[in-house]
Chain A
Amino acid sequence: MTATDTSWGGVAQRPRRDFRRLREFAARWGALFALGVVWEIAARIADSIYFPPISRIMHRFVELWLSGPPNTLFLTEGVATDIVPSLTRMLGGWSIAVVLGVLLGVAIGRSRTLGDFVEPIIHFVRAIPPPALIPIFFILLGIGNEMRVSLIAFAVIWPVLLNTIDGVRSVETLHLDTGRVFEFDRRKVFFGIVLPSAAPKIFAGMRVSLSVALIVMVISEMVGRPDGIGSVILGAQRTFRMLDMWSGILLLGILGYVLNALLALVESRVTKWHRGAREGVS
């Protein structure tokens, strides 16, 4: 698809939409910047040790994680000890949840009987707040990484699972009939019809899961063996290192934002057709 080609109609709107997006982008960043300025002024006036000015938080942030030697891309050792383990377990747990959620979701979505059996259980189990299960995960998996990754996977599997079930159930019957007419084998039906049809809903579930994964990661790091961003924040608070604490919080915000933006980028590439087909041309 070329953005400039207008001969088939519909696509002609692209440049104007891009411009509008640029304005929205500027507005969003402008607002964030304004919030920073307000924080700075308010903090300087209040002069509270609990709410340091944003400039000092950012300075400490750089000191902690971005003041390393050039050969490590200016990343400090703190990145390796605090951020990498956190990110690894968060993405690890999330990936496990996505793979399991999609596989189970497809199985449940394709079979009415299995769905009738399993769905009440799913809705019950997912209603339990994951932090309430930390004690049981402690007992079963200890206080280290396995417990944390499993807890994240458990907490974030539900949006993916439920959305996959929904997506698989709403596959067009005519698409499946078309597959039968042209003798698609099971693999081709799955990868060629079922998965692409369900992809927009699966991605929506993956995005919800990703933000939940960040939350559960922090919670899991505030208990058990001290390790990761969560324990940095908690440890700093307990020792009155307010700048370190706020740096950790800032870091979480940035990580959440960047990860979500990356996933949104992948999503828009993979399901580009979905937006186009929805907005409709003819």
Chain B
Amino acid sequence: MSVTTTRTDLLTIEGLGHVYEGKQRHEAIGRLDFAVPEGAFVSIVGPSGCGKTTMLRCLSGLMSPTRGTVLLGGAPVIGVPRDLALVFQDYSRSLFPWRTVAGNIAFVLPRKQLSAAERKERIDESLDAVGLSAAADKYPWQLSGGMQQRVAIARALAYRPTILLMDEPFASVDAQTRAELEDLMLAVRQRFGMTILFVTHDIDESVYLADRVLVLSKSPSTIVASLEVNLPSPRDQVGTRELDDFVQLRSKIARMIRDQSTRRPSAPAIGDSESPS
């Protein structure tokens, strides 16, 4: 299945599958085929335990899958590519507590390619983008959870990846902060023109943020549906969520996921793409 679009595909996943061998053989990913077009905001949503984290680790090159290939800009992903950054769910264990906020960001900037002034500029710009300019000299553990995740996002932004993968980044912050961070991601995408692949278990969030939502089945995961999101931009936390299109789409996805979690995994329907309206 390939996403039909006029834009070129930045990330292409072909026949991706992963099996954890060992005493308890576990097939985490059945077969995944999809592509993320350049500049797109694609979200992936699925029932809990659908192998989302395994998938992201394979896509980012932190782990090599047992089957299939991942191509970034046409080149196979072996090890983590320079053009890719990953924001983890667990910000508190991803940020370095022995470095300040600015220090955490500076740390990922290659010293050789950037002058001191350029590094400073990158740090300021990315902190400004996440609204944390005042916290540059704080330590991560002096900040609230939402702020810490902003730092992790700023760090990824300063690295200037062409694609940003996010692994349930807002799963452990409160609802108010989550809404703020969602809008932050939309603003950041606008400002830096990045391609974003966003994994979440929150259906509303997946629809609210993305141009396209991929619905995963239970593990061994396959793609159940690829749905285009035709909601007007800029999105609005209240307005967008009360649009008929939004409500219908989220209900449709919710039904798919409910069916997935009640039904026993049958033969995966590969290439079964559908689109609303």
Asked whether any CB of chain A lies closer than 8 Å to the CB of B12, the reply is no
List CB contacts (< 8 Å) of B89-120 with chain A.
Answer: 90, 93-94, 96-99, 107-108, 110
Q: Is A276 in contact with B139, judged by CB distance below 8 angstroms?
A: yes
Asked whether any CB of chain B lies closer than 8 Å to the CB of A116, the reply is no
List CB contacts (< 8 Å) of B129-173 with chain A.
Answer: 135, 137-145, 148, 159
Q: Is A196 in contact with B96, judged by CB distance below 8 angstroms?
A: yes
Binds B, one of A66-74, A78-86, A170-178: A170-178
Contacts of B143 in A (CB 8 A): 8, 281-282
Partner among A11, A177, A271 whose Cβ is within 8 Å of the Cβ of B88 = A177
Contacts of B82 in A (CB 8 A): 183
Q: Is A11 in contact with B142, judged by CB distance below 8 angstroms?
A: yes
Q: Is A9 in contact with B142, judged by CB distance below 8 angstroms?
A: yes
* A8 in contact with B142 given A175-B96, A181-B62, A273-B98 (CB within 8 Å): yes
Asked whether any CB of chain A lies closer than 8 Å to the CB of B85, the reply is yes
Closest beta carbon of chain A to B60's beta carbon, Å: 7
Docked CA distance A178–B84 (Å) = 12
What 0/1 readout, one digit per residue, does chain B (27-55) give for beta carbons within 8 Å of chain A?
00000000000000000000000000000
What 0/1 readout, one digit per residue, does chain B (181-210) give for beta carbons within 8 Å of chain A?
000000000000000000000000000000
Q: Is B137 in contact with A1, judged by CB distance below 8 angstroms?
A: yes
Closest beta carbon of chain B to A179's beta carbon, Å: 9
Asked whether any CB of chain A lies closer than 8 Å to the CB of B254, the reply is no
Contacts of B94 in A (CB 8 A): 174-175, 177-178
Contacts of B107 in A (CB 8 A): 182, 192
**Residues of A contacting B: mostly:** helix
List CB contacts (< 8 Å) of A191-234 with chain B.
Answer: 192-193, 196-197, 199
> Closest A-chain residue to B86, C-beta based?
A181
Q: Is B108 in contact with A182, judged by CB distance below 8 angstroms?
A: yes
Q: Is A174 in contact with B142, judged by CB distance below 8 angstroms?
A: no
Partner among A172, A182, A281 whose Cβ is within 8 Å of the Cβ of B159 = A182
Docked CA distance A172–B91 (Å) = 12
Contacts of A182 in B (CB 8 A): 85, 107-108, 159
> Closest A-chain residue to B87, C-beta based?
A181
Asked whether any CB of chain A lies closer than 8 Å to the CB of B256, the reply is no
Docked CA distance A282–B146 (Å) = 10
* A273 in contact with B97 given A174-B88, A177-B62, A192-B107 (CB within 8 Å): yes
Asked whether any CB of chain B lies closer than 8 Å to the CB of A30, the reply is no
Asked whether any CB of chain A lies closer than 8 Å to the CB of B80, the reply is yes
Docked CA distance A8–B141 (Å) = 10
> Closest A-chain residue to B138, C-beta based?
A8
Q: Is B142 in contact with A10, judged by CB distance below 8 angstroms?
A: yes
Docked CA distance A177–B88 (Å) = 10
Closest beta carbon of chain B to A176's beta carbon, Å: 10
Q: Is B85 in contact with A181, judged by CB distance below 8 angstroms?
A: yes
Docked CA distance A23–B132 (Å) = 38
Closest beta carbon of chain B to A22's beta carbon, Å: 24
Contacts of B85 in A (CB 8 A): 181-182
Contacts of A282 in B (CB 8 A): 141, 143-145, 148
Docked CA distance A1–B138 (Å) = 6
> Closest A-chain residue to B61, C-beta based?
A180
Docked CA distance A11–B86 (Å) = 31
Contacts of A192 in B (CB 8 A): 96, 107
* A172 in contact with B141 given A180-B80, A181-B62 (CB within 8 Å): no
> Closest A-chain residue to B158, C-beta based?
A182
Q: Is A172 in contact with B142, judged by CB distance below 8 angstroms?
A: no
Docked CA distance A274–B99 (Å) = 11
Q: Is B80 in contact with A181, judged by CB distance below 8 angstroms?
A: yes
Docked CA distance A196–B98 (Å) = 7
Closest beta carbon of chain B to A135's beta carbon, Å: 45
Docked CA distance A8–B88 (Å) = 23
Contacts of B148 in A (CB 8 A): 282
List CB contacts (< 8 Å) of A234-282 with chain B.
Answer: 271, 273-274, 276-277, 280-282
> Closest A-chain residue to B144, C-beta based?
A282
Docked CA distance A8–B90 (Å) = 21
Partner among A1, A172, A174, A193 whose Cβ is within 8 Å of the Cβ of B139 = A1
Chosen A-B contacts, 6 in total, with CB atoms closer than 8 Å, are: A8-B138, A180-B62, A183-B110, A196-B96, A271-B98, A273-B141
- Chain A residues within CB distance 8 Å of chain B: 1, 8-11, 172, 174-175, 177-178, 180-183, 192-193, 196-197, 199, 271, 273-274, 276-277, 280-282
Known A192-B107, A193-B96, A277-B97; further 5 A-B contacts with Cβ < 8 A = A175-B94, A181-B60, A181-B85, A281-B144, A282-B144
